[in-house]
Structure 1
Amino acid sequence: MKRRKVGNLLGLAVLSVVFERPMHPYEMAAVLKQRGKDADLPIKWGSLYTVVANLEKHGFVEAVESVRDGGRPERTVYRITPAGRAEFEDWVRELVGTVEPEPPRFRAGLSMMGVLGPDQTITLLRQRIGQLDDRVEAQRATLDQLRPLMPRLFLVEVEYNLAMTEAEARWARAFLDELTSGALPGIDAWRRFYKTGELPPDLGELVEKEE
């Protein structure tokens, strides 16, 4: 992935809103929250002003005026620059067209689940599947509410989130079926390892070779 002058994804979010019209940071945050972008991007709102300052430093946005609303402090309004538009488009092209390793926490847990034993893993998978089902239901409801209000172009990220949640739930159910039916190869040896701490012979030989 390209090393960017402003690599914080909040910078991408800022560029997306000032691409539409000039805004001050408070308005940027309000628009992004209203559109639920904090669900799509890892946004830390406390760094908003720092990110805007960095975008200005590198010529991606520029201040056009300061406005005062009642007794509130002055707020600087920013607009996107030609360089900012080029950066915004290039960033989106990269995100859409380039596969980047994004190891999720679930995968990390799966890689270590041998320490839990199959029975505890079964319980936890059932728990996770229940949570995934709740999330699928909520995401479908959100999509159903938004479809009459917005063009599909602006809902594809919601569709993607739903598809990924459904896919994880399907995989987790299939794996759970293997565990509960005993069809998973090596499950008996895994259960013995959890109870005794003794590695199966074939796995023990592999560990010794690596050492």
Structure 2
Amino acid sequence: MTRTSAPLTLELTLLGILDRTPMHGYNLCKAVQALDGFGLIWKIKQSSLYALVDKLEAKGLLAGTLIEGESHPSRKQLQVTPAGRAAFEAWVDSPVDSIRNMRQDFFARLYFARGTGPGRARALVRAQREACLAWLEDIRGRLRAGGGDHLKAVLSHRVHIVEATLAWLDEYEAGL
């Protein structure tokens, strides 16, 4: 049985870069490395990037056109398909689904949302705040339900992480 999966954050980031301007793989790798703050999130080798590009093409999210070169070998120019653009746009506008995805996934979404203006970034931050409040309610409910000392310690830690994230979201939104 073949398992289908949604694109990963890095794959969607590639779609976002290519949505700005089509380019070939080598330039795409350089563009990822040049993104503000992304070096703190990912390290990607060129060979891994090409594997992700192939995966996105197979899913119909990217299309490649072979460009013949006179002074260089032929290169595949990559561009986002309408399906790829739709997947990217939906991803940028939706909050992450768990606190563990804040570090990589949320900051990638925020980067692209902020690139189109403070209104879109503000909407993403507000949607993420709502998701965090729901997580906080769930965790506090589980904490009230009781359990062993170790479970209480883990849940208490999660409460503090979500509270800190909420405080940061408020601070960030105030700066928009």
Q: Greater CA radius of gyration, 1 or 2? A: 1
